[in-house]
Structure 1
Amino acid sequence: MRAECQCGRLAVELPGPTPAVVACHCIACQRRTGSPFVVLAYYPADQLTIVGEGRRFERATDEGNRFETFFCAECGSTVYARAGKHPSMIGVAVGAIADPAFRAPVRSVWEQSMHDWVTVPGDVQHFPRGRG
């Protein structure tokens, strides 16, 4: 399984599916993606192989941690991210995996800023803010 940017210069080799798939509706993710939410599949960092060099953008979170996103310097696609509160995990953008059969989110966070027309179906944990 592989996640990659639009031009293919930045990729992440994945060991397979993961049970840790999270939809985030925070304003920062909306602005970063240009979409009403992002879906990240989280893996232990030591299980992934990153191919190519991503540019890093780091921001503070509302909870006082740091959040890093890594994107392709050529095409601008975000491919993966790392949250300061879970430094041993990497969140891979599910859209970069480009598999319509990929697992649906198990959690939906920052729903206080979720667009009114968005619905997260299925048996999902819902949080108005982060999990805390």
Structure 2
Amino acid sequence: MIAIEGGCRCGATRYSIAVEVMPPVYCCHCTDCQRWTGSAFSEQAVVRTESLTVTGPVVDYIYENRSGAQSHQRVCSVCHARIFNTNSRLPGMAVVRAGTLDAMCTLEPRAHIWVSSKQPWVVLPDDLPTFLENASPAEFLRIVMP
């Protein structure tokens, strides 16, 4: 078992993920992620909620997304960096913002979702799976779970 660590921009909120291997990362190009990150896409890693330990001040922002699922966005209450979220459609799973990992420079995405709304200047590799919107739940979990 290894501990993968990360945290927010200001350092007030830290987390650790206890896993056997580094979780695979995927990129989301949906307009929600573009607005939340202020960038062209977000990098995310799916982990089991019981493997994630968070310390520091966290605020839970809840909203209902287009599919009707309830999403809980956890952000640092000091610098407001988005750390992870859970979703009622993926019980027992947490989606960690991979850009908050201490080892973010070692990440290699395994898939791209919502490419129908990606920025036109973003060029995707030919050898990775891409999906116009979401992948099917089964295919998504096959890609993002180690």
TM-score, normalised via structure 2 length: 0.81
The one of 5, 14, 18 equivalent to 2:17 is 14
Q: Distance in 2 between matches of 1:116 and 1:46?
A: 38
Deviations 1:49-70 (A, max 9, x none): 1112311222222222122211
Unaligned runs of 5+ in 2: 137-146
- Bigger CA radius of gyration: 2
Q: Distance in 2 between matches of 1:35 and 1:29?
A: 8
TM-score, normalised via structure 1 length: 0.88
- Does the 8 Å contact 2:84/2:97 carry over to 1? yes
Q: How does 1:5-84 map to 2 (within 5 A)?
A: 5-15=8-18, 16-19=21-24, 21-84=25-88
Q: 1:120 deviation in Å?
A: 2.8
Q: Distance in 2 between matches of 1:67 and 1:131?
A: 18
- Number of residue pairs matched by the alignment: 130
Q: Distance in 1 between matches of 2:109 and 2:97?
A: 12
Deviations 1:68-118 (A, max 9, x none): 21111111111111122112111111110142112x222211111100011
- Does the 8 Å contact 2:33/2:42 carry over to 1? yes
Name the structure 1 match of 2:106. Answer: 101
- Does the 8 Å contact 2:57/2:78 carry over to 1? no
| Structure with greater helix share of residues | 2
Q: Distance in 2 between matches of 1:2 and 1:122?
A: 31
Q: Percent identity?
A: 26
Q: Distance in 1 between matches of 2:9 and 2:60?
A: 17
Unaligned runs of 5+ in 1: none
The one of 89, 96, 107 equivalent to 1:92 is 96
Displacement over 4 Å in runs of 4+: none
